[in-house]
Amino acid sequence: MTATNPQPHGVARSIVALLAGLFAAVILSIGTDILMYAIGVLPRLGDSAGNNALLLATAYRTVYGIGGSYIAARLAPNRPMGPALTLGVLGLILSIVGALATWNRQPSLGPHWYPVALIVLAIPTAWARQTTGNAVASSGGRC
């Protein structure tokens, strides 16, 4: 199989790689959210979160997003940048949709800097995903 002519099983493996990275990032984010709610770091659902809690959530979600893209790039049979950047673009789109859906929601879901930060961080996160994809590609899929 060549990188310029992917075979059907290569496409299926790329989709599996993409889904594995997405699944890892989502499960880690939700799991950490549940833990943070349980120990009282994040407020109960429906209550407004403070700056410190949202800063923490922003940090771990960004790390999990990069990790999920690393997994996708690592599992991709060829062109690891494809699944990694797809997840980056998906994160950007979801961040924009989330900001639009919650911007003037009452009661307030928190300060407006949080959804803006998620959008802004999606751009360097996508770049980090691109870098991760290049590192995996240059090592022949072995890190």
Per-residue CA distances from 107 to 56, 104, 110, 117, 118 (Å): 22, 9, 9, 20, 20
Is pLDDT at 142 greater than 50 in this prediction? Answer: no
Give the C-alpha separation, 117 to 142, whole Å: 33
Nearest Cα residue to 67 out of 88, 44, 89: 88
Which tokens is 56 given?
Answer: 């923490």
pLDDT tens for 104-138 read: 876 667 788 888 998 888 866 555 555 555 554 45
pTM for the full model?
A: 0.74
Helical segments of 4-143, H only: 8-38, 51-75, 81-102, 113-138
pLDDT in tens, 21-56: 999 999 999 999 999 999 988 887 667 778 898 899
124 contact partners, CB below 8 Å, separation of at least 6 = none
